[in-house]
Amino acid sequence: MKVPGKLLCIMLVVAITVILAGCLQPLEKKNSDDTKYSGVATFPEVTNSPDLPGSIERNASAENAIIDANNQFAFDLYSNLSRNTETSGRNILFSPLSIASAFALTYEGARTNTGEEIRTVFHFPADDRIRRQGFVGAYADLNRKNTSSPLRTTNALWAEQTYPFLPEYTTTAAKYYGAATRNLDFKNSPEASRAAINA
C-alpha cells in the first residue's frame, strides 16, 4: 500500500512526539509552579482467567492480529523509505511497534476519514476489542518481569492544561495502552512543561 507523502510526514511527526513524550521514568520532581507529577500509568494484568479483578483476558488471536498488522506496517514503511531518494542505499532503523503504538492511541480518539486513514495505514483490526486486547498482550509480552531483557515500554499523553482530554478517552488510554494523561501549562510555562516531559 502506498502511504501518501503528507500523511507519512504527519505520521512521523506525531509518532516521534508521542514516543518521546511516552518514554518516561517515574517522576517525583516539582516544576517551577510547584505542580507535582508522579509515576506513570501501568499496563493491566493480562491473564488466562477473566475472573481476576482489574485484569484483561489474554486473547491469542487478538495478539496475532496486532503482530500481523505491525509486520505489514513495517514492510510498508520500510518499502516506502527504501525507495525514497534521501534514504535509498542507507541504513534504515525504526521501531514499527513504537510508531504503531503511538498511532493506536491516536486512533482511539480519531473519527471519520482520519480514523479510517490511520486504521488502513497501520492495518489495525476494525474491532475495538480485538485491537485493544492485542496491544495489551503485546505490551505484556514486552514487559514480562521474568525476562532478562532490560527493555520496558511505557506510554503517556500530554496536553495543554486548557484542553482537557475526554474521560472515556483517558480511561481507554490507561486501561489498554498503559498511557498516563497529564495536562501542563504549555502556553505560560513552556520551559517547565518541556522539562517535565523530558524528565
CA distance 130 to 68: 13
CA distance 114 to 110: 6
* Residue bearing cell 505542580: 35
Domain covering 5-198 in this structure, CATH number: 3.30.497.10
pTM of the model: 0.70
**Cβ of 19: how many Cβ atoms within 10 Å?**
15
Q: Please, what is the average pLDDT of the chain?
A: 78
- Asked if pLDDT for residue 157 goes beyond 80, the answer is yes
Task: Give the side-chain half-sphere CA count within 13 A for 176.
Answer: 23
CA distance 186 to 179: 19
Residue 53 is predicted with a pLDDT of 46
Per-residue confidence band for 19, with pLDDT thresholds at 50, 70 and 90:
very low
Chain length of the chain: 199
State which amino acid sits at residue 48: N
Residue 144 is predicted with a pLDDT of 73
- Write out pLDDT tens, residues 40-72: 556 656 655 455 445 677 788 999 999 999 999
For the chain, the structural domain boundaries read 5-198
Determine what percent of the chain is predicted with pLDDT higher than 70. Answer: 70
* Residue bearing cell 493506536: 104
* Residues 73-101, mean pLDDT to the nearest whole number: 89
Higher-pLDDT residue of 23 and 123 is: 123
- Asked if pLDDT for residue 155 goes beyond 80, the answer is yes
